[in-house]
A and B are shown apart, each in its own frame.
Chain A
Amino acid sequence: MDAIILQILNGLDKGSAYALIALGLTLIFGTLGVVNFAHGALFMIGSFCAVTLQRILSISFQTVDPSKTDFLGNPSTFDTPYVVHWFGAEVGNGIIDWSVPLAIFFAIPIMIAIGFIMERGLIKHFYKRPHADQILVTFGLAIVLQEVIKYYYGANPIQTGAPEMFRGSFDFGTLLGFDPNVIIYPYWRLVYFGFAAVIISAVFAFLQFTTFGMVVRAGMADRETVGLLGINIDKRFTIMFGLAAAVAGLAGVMYAPINAPNYHMGMDFLVLSFVVVVVGGMGSLPGAVLAGFLLGILESFASMTQIIDLIPGINQIIIYVVAIIVLLTRPRGLMGRKGVMEE
């Protein structure tokens, strides 16, 4: 029992990331009808927003401390970050420590801007082109974004720490009445899950309770009819693309402490997220979220030593196996709607 709960918890953080990326992919696919292979790159850029903010906040100036000398006898120099200089040691160091959550506010405008530029500058021209062309051009874009990041940030993963108070783990099991030290869970992963839950709820609430969301949902169901109503659906879809980019970006920002950002993380997550979308059902938002968590948890179960001993390598391929089975038995996916991309 405790092992099961542990695996579910372990699957939550990856599942959250899958769900968030898949949600954006589905929004874009459902509204614009475009298959966006560059969506993983947006997730990756989000992570690098966290890296960038941390670096910006850590920009320092040097001061010479004549009272101390280094081993050569020269006066030592000290780096003092500007934020510390401006706000005092406590607040300043606190800001640096909290750079990852703060990066949320930094990333939102950046991601929305990137989303707008991508949609207006590139994707817009591919609405009427075959899906193969959409796949190819966004695939090219994904390579470009990834290489640009690699050029500026290097090929090595960049450790980006969570705030001090969330580092380390706590004994989740004792809360549920299990013996101590059975279910140990890192704080930040719980934060990430909570964050993902908030974002997902926000997106659903936005689509459910605003007029804007209503139009978008109608557009997802039947684009032509909505167009006939004289509603400028294109403009809304641009905004939708920005929103999807922001969701992917935020997923990336908060994931930085879990997985040190590297330039190819986008591609790694993209393939899996696509599989998630297909399993959930193309064009189904609840399906994407459900399948994201489901596959994340399945993957974590498959990583249990008992299971690996039973079927070696299953942890590496479980998601693909599930996807293949689902595609062959339920081509519409778990919650796919009739008539959406069936062929």
Chain B
Amino acid sequence: MFAIEKKDTTLLLIVAVLTMCAPFILNPFPTDSAMAQFNAGYPDLMQRFVIFGIFAIGFNILFGLTGYLSFGHAAFLGVGSYSAVWMFKLLSMNVIPAIILSVIVAGVFALIIGFVSLRRSGIYFSILTLAFAQMSFALAYSVLTPITNGETGLQLSLNDPRILGTSVSADGGIPVTSLFGLEMRSTYEMHVGPWLFQFNAGYYLCALLMLLAFYISIRIFRSPFGLMLRAVKSNQQRMSYTGLNARPYTLAAFVISGMYAGLAGGLLAAMDPLAGAERMQWTASGEVVLMTILGGAGTLIGPVLGAGFIKYFENIFSKINDNVLHSWFSFLPDGLEDLMVTLVHPFVGKGWSLTLGLMFMAVVIFLPGGLVQGGQKIGKLFRRKKAAGHRSSTATKPAE
């Protein structure tokens, strides 16, 4: 099906089912239970899961396949967001033109930056991309203020022309983003017993686009083009002595991943129409690197897992405050409770970045292949046990 191999089709279908049912799956706890804080099934967070999933899938096409580590991919995300918001300001609140423009602009941007950066490889490439991204960031804050609105960030206003739409909505406010009239923020709430499930239009748009992005990434991975990209990572010398010029392949991968980032940026703006320069900062670039390696660079599903994992824990960890901690450790004697709270405190709430940094190090040190490899290792362990049991039962048969 879909002109891809069976195991990839299965993977695609699993991801499809999971994303479509996410509002259920991510809300396993009843609304008023103590565990409800671990629920993730509300629109804002689910949107971020899939949007950053797209971002990481795209990054993986570059880093996972070719091994070129870009430290400036957030620039494309930012460019995508700015383009989308401008589309909302000038044209209409329909998300389609905004998303299309953000992908195109990010692609053009990536073409220019990639053309220059890919003249070098290894650490030089990383530093060049970093320099470009920091440059964009600095410019967005200063000279480009007419386009980016500087530190305040680009926002919609009642004075925007919106030539195909309305400047002011019927109730006098700023109109909201929509897909041919279907408002992105519109949410259908379903009460089942103590549970509350939310189905958000914006989330489903993002999810469908992520599935499309995922499908395209599968096709790229399995195509001759993908094979060439893996060849670039494996041995550039042999590649050029096979009559192949690596640069157009890497440039194509760079532009594709830039367009993915642009799509993610456009969707961020489509869900919440504002754009700020901090989206382009290099820590944001570092985050997508982390998502990709945490999940497993070079694997299909890894980046999606990594993005979900990080965004989920970011959300959960940031919400935990001392009161929550006290309630967790309340079963301990008072002194011990305070001690535990003090110990855990630096890592939660505003300390999320610290946890993120530690996680980053832990993954690189202990699990260079990411979660997917970790899963495979565990899987192999079980299989070996099974196989060992199997072999002992068939030991009487002659070997091969």
Contact = CB atoms under 8 A, between A and B. Distances in A.
Contact of B282 (A125, A271, A275): A271
B357 A143 contact: yes
B130 interface: yes
Contacts of A147: 351, 353-354, 357
B123 A35 contact: yes
Contact of B361 (A135, A140, A151, A275): A140
Contacts of A327: 119-120, 124, 127-128
Interface stretch (A102-110, A235-243, A314-322): A314-322
B123 A313 contact: no
Contacts, number: 119
Interface stretch (B137-145, B165-173, B322-330): B137-145
Chain B interface SS verdict (over half): helix
Nearest to B358: A144
A323 interface: yes
Chain A: number of interface residues, binned into ranges: 35 or more
Chain B: number of interface residues, binned into ranges: 35 or more
B145 to A, nearest CB: 9
Contact of A133 (B134, B144, B359, B364): B364
Contact of A324 (B128, B138, B360): B128
Interface string A134-154: 011101111110111011000
Given A144-B354, A147-B354, A312 B143 contact: yes
Contacts of A35: 123
Interface string B249-284: 000000000000000000000000000000000110
B289 interface: yes
Contacts of B127: 274-275, 278, 323, 327
Contacts of A317: 135, 138-139
A148 B354 CA distance: 7
Chain A interface SS verdict (over half): helix
Interface string B139-172: 1011110000000000000000000000000000
Contact of A320 (B131, B354, B364): B131
A169 B134 CA distance: 33
Interface in B280-301: 282-283, 286, 289-290, 293
A139 B286 contact: yes
A141 B286 CA distance: 12
Given A131-B123, A331-B120, A324 B289 contact: no
B356 interface: yes
Contacts of A151: 346, 351, 354
Interface string B232-249: 000000000000000000
A14 B127 CA distance: 20
B263 to A, nearest CB: 25
Interface in A270-298: 271, 274-275, 278, 282
Contacts of B139: 313, 316-317
Contacts of A275: 127, 131
Contacts of A150: 353
Interface of A: 35, 122, 125, 129, 131-133, 135-137, 139-144, 146-148, 150-151, 267, 271, 274-275, 278, 282, 312-313, 316-317, 320-321, 323-324, 327-328, 331, 341, 343
7 contacts: A267-B282, A317-B135, A323-B127, A323-B131, A324-B131, A327-B120, A327-B127
Across the A-B interface, the 10 shortest Cβ-Cβ residue pairs: A313-B143, A143-B357, A140-B360, A147-B354, A140-B361, A316-B138, A144-B357, A137-B364, A320-B135, A320-B131
